[in-house]
Amino acid sequence: MTIRPGYAFSTRFKVRYAEIDGQRVVFNSRYLEYADVAVTEFWEWTGIGDKLGAAWHDTEFHVRRAAVDYLKPLVLGDTIEAFVRIEAIGRSSLTTGFALANQRGELCAEIEMVTVNVHLPTGRPIAIADEVRAFLEALIAAQPERVA
């Protein structure tokens, strides 16, 4: 895997037939699914579940806002390389950045996703636990500098 400046993690997967329209272009909504796949792989890569156990597994982040900047279409046959980085940590929120590139290294989309830590019984935002926050802050500190 290649490393995109400003990102320490990436994962690859193929565009599947069910993800394209009649012109063989990936449906817009699939880009957010790709971000979901990538962030799942990212959390596994960090080892947060193994290191924090219940403190992480009892944490529930829900998407509050997602913004996609479509730069170049992904098409049938592309191998996507999805890059993930943590952008910011709020009291109860986490901002994650994604870059989706094709196998030629062309940047196809950038995504910013804000998720909120939710207390499931009430459905209300709740502060990120100190142990989780410390782990996330260490991840940010270890990330390469963001390239403008």
Q: Tens of pLDDT along 125-142?
A: 999 999 999 999 999 999
- What is the tens place of the pLDDT at every residue in 77-111? 999 999 999 999 999 999 999 999 999 999 999 99
pTM over 0.75: yes
| Domain limits for position 41 | 9-142
Nearest CA to 52 out of 126, 120, 134, 137 is that of 134
Residue 82 is inside which H or E element, if any?
strand 79-89
Q: What pLDDT does 1 receive? A: 54
Say whether pLDDT at 6 is over 60: yes
Tell me the backbone φ, ψ of residue 47, rounded to 5 degrees. Answer: 75, 15
| CATH number of the domain bearing residue 63 | 3.10.129.10
Q: What pLDDT does 121 receive? A: 87
How many domains would you assign to the chain? 1
